[in-house]
Each structure stands twice: as structure tokens, then as C-alpha cells.
């Protein structure tokens, strides 16, 4: 075998040309938008948005909407005066409203972002769509199957652009990785895994008892879908989207491990979701430790894919066929494993010799989800995540939470949604 040092070394021009060709081949597997989605509204008049709910997620939405051109936040609505005031500070020129009814009757908005507590989503969504407003509903869609079905039916009947905040479907890295998953690069799936690890109590402090109860609805087992619904459903949807399948059963358990404050909702859970083709998804979530954060893993006979929302990697098996582009791909070491970085927009970056500059997304997944919804309103198209798909993912999360609470295996039937 000849010494590799004797082989001709590729020039930078050869490298760029090869990467451009290879990246183009990879991009053919998936439709990946340009990473800058600021021009999502082409009409002369700016799209007027109302944000309902000025808690943490609502304030995050306000921040991302501020990045988009020709889009204005015309109204912020929250029943809590302190949160309303906080939201208005993040949206210059917006009018504040204490109720959704007042906001809708004002005639000041064309579309509504719903970032209220999960158990209130149904009423707000129905009100907004009945008033002829396009809707973006944060995930999960609702806290019961019945409410999921009601929101989905209202969306189908409205003729409006109704989207949900299951962000993986509009994430450029996830769109690119899905193309690889569906190609021979990963090949036959053997197992799936996901995790969501945070160090947070899920408690919003408040001196007033009534306000404390309203702010901390996630700790009320009558209203909350627990970690499985509030966190897991977002990730379960990624597997639904990639595989085209939904789990048919789920088992699991949970307990309070980190926060000994008499809460009735588990702060640590473990789940096993089974699909009809025999594959399983192992899921774990905790509020007691943040190590390794949030990620989804797809294991195939040729490669594994790890997704971490702003980043993605492919880990090839030693016996997997080489496609050529791997020689020049950007790589990252994970202990004894080497991952090929999945870079959205790789074709253009490779042509410019800036492939490494594309590692990681410039904006959050929330930004791309909101931009996709607004773009769909502009074009009259279909958003990346419809309410129908969101209702299915939410129903899986609700079933998973039921498995945690009861300790029993729960069957999942999505045909009646």
C-alpha cells in the first residue's frame, strides 16, 4: 500500500469545488431554506401580529419577531399586569390588552401568536380563528386529547394558516439531516433515543397565592402534561416527521428526584415508546441535571445521526460505503467517536471556502418556526407543522404522561383526532 504522503494533495480550489458538488448532492435530499429568513413577508403593508401570553415563551417570541423585516408586533395580551408590562417593554409601539377579546375587537392584528399556558390554548385559538386571524400556537397544542381534536377541527374549518410550534420541521439543520436519514447514508433504522435535561425548578416565584398558582400551572397535575407532554412532545414529533410513523404504545415511570417541595408532577422521567415496525424510542427527561442537554439520536446500520437543535452530526459505521465528500467534511471529536458536522446551506458556503463558518445555526429554532409560519401566510401555503401534525404529537405526549402517572403501558390510537 503506497504511503499517503506520496499522494498528490488537493489544492484549496479542488477542495472548494469538491465540497460544492458534494454539498449539492446532500442538499438534494431535503429542501433547506436560506438561513436568513428575514424577508418572509412581501406585501406592501407590514403584517400586524398580536402576541398572547408574555411569559418566558411569549417574550422569546417577541425577541425573534423583532428580527423579521416588514412584520410588526401591534399588540401584546396577558391577564397578568406584570407580565404584560414586561412584554410591552420588548415590543416598541405595541398596544397592551388584558383580554384576547379586547385585542381581537380592536382590529389591530392580522395574525396571533399563542404563548399562553397549555390548558388555555384551545380557547385562545378558537377565538382567534373565529375572528379570521391566522394562528401560531406554541406546543403542545392542548392538555387533553379532546382539546387537541377541537383545535385541529377549528383549524381545518377556518381556511386560515394555522401552525404549531413544533420547531424541528422548520429547523434548517433538521431538514438537512432528514434528507440524510431518508437516504442510504443511514440506511436501516435499528433504534431511536432522545433526552431533555435541564437544571430548573419550573417554578415562577410570586408572593400572592393566587398568582403563584396561575404562574405555576405546570406543577398542577390537573392542568399539566408533565415533562412527557411539555418537553417530550416537541421531540417526539421529530421522530414522527423523520420516519412517517407514530408510536402505538408507551410505558414509563417518573418520580421527584431533584426538587423536594411537595410537587405532584415528576421532575425526572423515563419512557419507552414502541412503533409498529418493531423499533423503539427511549426517552429521558429531568429538571435536576443539565449535562448533555436536549438531543435526538437516530441509529441506522450505516450511520447514526445526533441532533441538538442548533447543531447536527453524522457518525458513520466503519463498514459503511464511502461517498467521497466525507474526506473534506468538517468533523468534530466526541471522545472515541468522530462526527461529521451537518451544515445547512453547505453548497453556498463550500463555494466560498467558508464551510466551517456554517457550523451551528445563526438563529434559534423558534425564529425559523415563526418565519416559516409568516412565509406561509404570505404565500397562502402550508406551514412546516400543521395543527393536525401538532395534535398527533401532543396526543403522544399526553399518552406518555399518562404512562408516567399510572405506571402502566398505554396504547396510542391517533385515528380519532
Give residue 276's pLDDT: 97
**pLDDT per position as a tens digit, 78-110:** 999 999 999 999 999 999 999 999 999 999 999
In percent, how much of the chain has pLDDT > 70? 86
Which of 147, 168, 189 represents a domain boundary (last residue)? 168
Q: Please tell me the distance from the alpha carbon of residue 233 to that of residue 281, in angstroms, as a whole number.
A: 13
Structural domain for 58, as ranges: 47-168
More confident residue, 223 or 6: 223
260, 398: one domain: yes
Q: Is 44 or 356 the better-scoring residue by pLDDT?
A: 44
Q: Which residue has the cell 401538532?
A: 390
With 50 as the cut, is the pLDDT of residue 196 above it?
yes
Tell which residue, 110, 51, 46, 102, has the closest CA to residue 75. Answer: 51
Residues 114-173 pLDDT 10s: 999 999 999 999 999 999 999 999 999 999 999 999 999 999 999 999 999 999 999 999
155 shares its domain with 190: no
- The mean per-residue pLDDT over the stretch 258-269 comes to 96
Flag whether pLDDT at 22 surpasses 60: no
Q: Is the pLDDT of residue 16 over 60?
A: no
pLDDT tens digits for range 49-85 = 999 999 999 999 999 999 999 999 999 999 999 999 9
Same domain? For 160 and 176 the reply is no
Mean confidence (pLDDT) of the chain: 90
d(CA 57, CA 62): 9
Domain identity same for 153 and 181: no
> Does residue 232 or residue 335 have the better pLDDT?
232
* pLDDT of the residue at 357: 63
CATH number at residue 259: 3.30.360.10
Number of structural domains the chain divides into: 2
pLDDT value of position 21? 45
User: Does 154 share its domain with 216?
Assistant: no
Give the gyration radius of the chain's Cα atoms.
23
227 and 336 share one domain:
yes
pLDDT tens per residue across span 215-254: 999 999 999 999 999 999 999 999 999 999 999 999 999 9
- Contacts (Cβ under 8 Å, ≥6 apart) of 354: none
* Statement: residue 307 has pLDDT above 90: yes
Residue 323 has pLDDT above 80, yes or no: no
Q: What is the CATH number of the domain that holds 85?
A: 3.40.50.720
Residues 6+ apart with CB under 8 A from 148: 141, 142, 391, 394, 395, 398, 417
Same domain for 213 and 144: no
Amino acid at each position: 500500500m503506497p504511503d499517503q504522503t506520496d499522494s498528490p494533495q488537493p489544492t484549496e480550489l479542488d477542495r472548494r469545488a469538491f465540497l460544492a458538488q458534494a454539498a449539492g448532492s446532500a442538499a438534494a435530499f431535503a429542501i433547506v431554506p436560506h438561513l436568513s429568513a428575514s424577508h418572509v413577508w412581501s406585501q406592501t403593508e407590514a403584517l400586524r401580529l398580536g402576541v398572547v401570553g408574555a411569559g418566558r415563551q411569549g417574550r422569546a417570541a417577541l425577541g425573534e419577531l423583532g428580527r423579521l423585516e416588514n412584520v410588526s408586533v401591534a399588540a401584546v395580551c396577558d391577564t397578568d399586569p406584570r407580565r404584560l408590562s414586561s412584554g410591552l417593554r420588548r415590543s416598541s409601539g405595541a398596544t397592551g390588552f388584558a383580554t384576547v377579546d379586547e385585542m381581537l375587537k380592536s382590529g389591530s392584528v392580522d395574525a396571533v401568536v399563542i404563548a399562553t399556558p397549555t390548558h388555555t390554548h384551545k380557547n385562545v385559538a378558537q377565538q382567534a380563528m373565529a375572528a379570521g386571524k391566522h394562528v401560531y400556537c406554541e406546543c403542545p397544542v392542548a392538555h387533553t386529547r379532546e382539546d387537541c381534536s377541537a383545535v385541529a377541527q377549528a383549524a381545518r374549518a377556518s381556511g386560515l394558516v394555522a401552525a404549531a410550534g413544533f420547531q424541528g420541521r422548520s429547523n434548517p439543520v433538521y431538514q438537512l439531516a432528514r434528507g440524510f436519514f431518508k437516504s442510504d447514508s443511514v440506511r436501516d433504522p435499528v433504534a431511536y433515543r432522545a433526552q431533555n435535561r435541564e437544571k430548573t425548578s419550573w417554578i415562577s416565584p410570586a408572593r400572592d397565592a393566587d398568582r403563584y398558582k396561575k404562574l405555576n400551572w405546570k406543577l398542577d397535575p390537573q392542568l399539566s402534561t408533565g415533562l412527557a407532554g411539555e418537553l417530550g412532545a416537541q421531540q417526539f414529533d421529530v421522530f414522527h416527521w423523520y420516519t412517517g410513523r407514530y408510536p402505538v404504545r408507551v410505558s414509563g415511570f417518573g418520580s421527584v428526584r431533584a426538587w423536594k417541595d411537595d410537587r405532584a408532577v415528576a421532575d425526572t422521567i423515563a419512557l419507552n415508546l414502541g412503533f409498529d415496525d418493531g423499533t423503539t424510542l427511549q426517552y429521558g427527561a429531568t429538571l435536576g441535571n443539565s449535562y448533555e442537554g436536549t438531543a435526538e439520536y437516530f441509529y441506522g446500520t450505516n450511520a447514526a445521526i445526533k441532533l441538538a437543535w442548533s447543531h447536527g452530526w453524522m457518525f458513520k459505521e466503519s463498514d459503511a460505503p464511502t461517498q467521497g465528500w466525507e474526506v473534506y467534511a468538517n468533523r468534530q471529536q466526541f471522545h472515541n467517536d468522530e462526527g461529521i458536522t451537518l451544515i445547512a446551506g453547505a453548497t453556498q458556503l463550500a463555494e466560498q471556502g467558508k464551510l466551517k463558518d456554517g457550523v451551528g445555526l445563526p438563529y434559534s429554532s423558534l425564529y425559523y418556526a415563526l418565519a416559516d409560519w409568516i412565509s406561509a401566510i404570505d404565500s397562502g401555503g402550508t406551514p412546516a407543522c400543521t395543527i393536525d401534525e401538532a395534535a398527533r404529537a401532543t396526543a403522544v405526549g399526553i399518552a406518555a404522561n399518562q404512562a408516567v402517572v399510572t405506571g402502566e403501558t398505554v396504547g396510542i390510537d391517533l385515528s380519532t383526532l
